[in-house]
Amino acid sequence: MIEWIGLLYTFAKDLRDHVKWDEAVKTVHMDWLEKSGFKAALEAKGIELRWCRPERIPTLQFDGWDVVYELDRGNHVRRRLVLRDGLTLVGKAQTAGMPT
């Protein structure tokens, strides 16, 4: 019985490590969004983007805004996009037919 518990623990630990994403900060220039195609890709999915101060993020989350991440699926890293002055990229799904 103990062996089964140990095996289950090992499997669960390996699974957790496989689905766990590390977080990093990627400092970008204001033009990066357009030049990289990141903005166009998200807007095509109906996501509105804006920059905000980090201390405002909890307040904006009440209105449906959340931090936007660039995902590196190969390395399991999600990068928060930040400007040099500390502004963080946030996004909100647009509701069809309603201005945001």
Q: Each residue of 46-95: pLDDT tens digit?
A: 999 999 999 999 999 999 999 999 998 888 899 999 999 999 999 999 87
26, 70 contact by CB (below 8 A): yes
CA angle, 42 then 75 then 37, to 5°: 25
- Domain range enclosing 69: 21-93
> Does 10 fall in a domain?
no
Average pLDDT over all residues of the chain? 84
The answer as to whether 32 is a domain residue is yes
Identify the pLDDT of residue 6. Answer: 54
| Domain presence at residue 28 | yes
Tally of domains in the chain: 1
Measured in residues, the chain has a length of 100
- DSSP one-letter code for 80: E
Sign of CA dihedral 90, 18, 72, 38: negative
pTM equals 0.74
Query: According to the model, what pLDDT value does residue 66 have?
Result: 95
